[in-house]
Every structure is written in structure tokens, then in C-alpha cells.
Amino acid sequence: MSVLTNNIDLYLRAFGTTIQLFFFSAIGSLVLGTFLAMLRVSPVPVLRAAATTYVTLLRNTPLTLVFFFFLFAYPLLKILQLEPFPAAAVALTLYTSAFICEVVRSGINTVPVGQAEASRALGLTFSQMLSNVVLPQAVRSVVPPLVSTLIALLKNTTIAAGFSVAEAGSISYSLSEQGEDLLAGLAWVAVFFVVLVIPLTLLQRSLEKRWSVAR
């Protein structure tokens, strides 16, 4: 307990950074992921292929390697200098968006063919059909797995600790510098994560239950 009370500042600051990092990369990957999903269902083969390639590459690369690239290899290309925090956010965004793309795409695929056919028969345009008929239905099967992807993202932010971002994963380094009890200190970090993740899990389960009945 004393580890926590003595270093409460450190914990709050670190978890604050974690949540910021989570927030930025969540928004980024939701936008990019949805965009990629749109490409993957688009009628233009080139765009589909491009999005598929992206998703395949990113899904099969360790996140750590993506981080490694953005922190060390990317700066050598001298395109735009990034501080460690934005670089970490970009790495997390690029990685997570590949997973979000898959979630959204499989959500769209769960909508029965008849729905789209019926809307076309009614004379709706493609965008009307997507926004008024297909997407509202897809959301129900998309949101629960989306929440668990975001939970994974929250946990993945800890990897940034190895790349000079002072978030929750780096608490152990600071505690070690101060010679604190690492076992208790890290156990508290774990507890914090459980506290952050469990409500999200519960939310996801209740959403899933409610919507699976409605379907």
C-alpha cells in the first residue's frame, strides 16, 4: 500500500498519459479503420486489394516492430519529425486500424443481402442505403467486438514504455530508480488495469446481450 500512497503522483501521471495515448489512438484507428473497411467493400478492385494488403501486413507484424519502425527507422526518412508520444500514437493507430477494419467489414457482411436489395428496389442511392439501412444494422454486430478491440488497444499502450513514453508501463522503471518495492508497485499497476478493463468488458457483454436479442 505504501508504494501506492508514496508514489500516487507517479501513478496518476503515468495512467493519465496511458489514457491520453489510448484516446488519441482510439480515435485515429476508428477513423482509419472505418475508412479501410469502406475500401475493402468498395466496388473498385484496386482499392480493395490495397486495403487487403494493408490489413494483412499490419495484422501479421508484431506491434513492437511497428513501434520500432516509427521510433527508429521512420525518423531516418526525414519526412516529418515526431516526438515519442505522437510516434507511439501513430504506431498504435496504424496497427489497431487493421483490426478495426476487419471488425467493421465483418459487421457489414452480417447484414442480410435482402436488406440491400430491398433498399435498391426502393430506389435509395448507395450512400443512402449505407447510412440509413446497412450501417445502423451493422453497428449492432460491430460495437461489441469493437469494444474488445479497444480493450486490447488500452492494454497495448503499455508497449510504448519501451520507447520513451512515460505511461503506465514505465512505472516500473521509475520505481526501480527510486528503489521501491517493485512487486507491490507492479501489482498495483496490474490492479489499475483490471479496474480500467473490467467495466469495459461488462459494457461490451451487456451491449452484446441486448442487441443479440433484438436481432
> Where in 76-135 is the site for another protein (CB under 8 A)?
76-79, 81, 83-84, 96, 99, 103, 105-106, 108-109, 111-113, 115-117, 120, 126, 129-130, 134
Q: Is 143 helix (H, G, I), strand (E, B) or coil?
A: helix
By the 8 A CB rule, do 103 and 141 touch? no
Q: How far is the CB of 66 from another protein (least distance, A)?
A: 9
Asked if residue 148 binds another protein (CB under 8 A), the reply is yes
By the 8 A CB rule, do 91 and 69 touch? yes
From candidates 1, 5, 9, 179, binder to another protein by CB under 8 A: 179
HSE, CB side, 13 Å, CA atoms: give it for residue 147.
Answer: 18
From candidates 12, 31, 118, 198, binder to another protein by CB under 8 A: 198
Contact segment (CB under 8 A) with another protein among 9-17, 20-28, 200-208 equals 200-208
Nearest to 67 by CA among 152, 159, 158: 159
> Using alpha carbons only, what angle is made at residue 193 by residues 12 and 32, rounded to the nearest 5 degrees?
95
Q: How far is the CB of 86 from another protein (least distance, A)?
A: 12
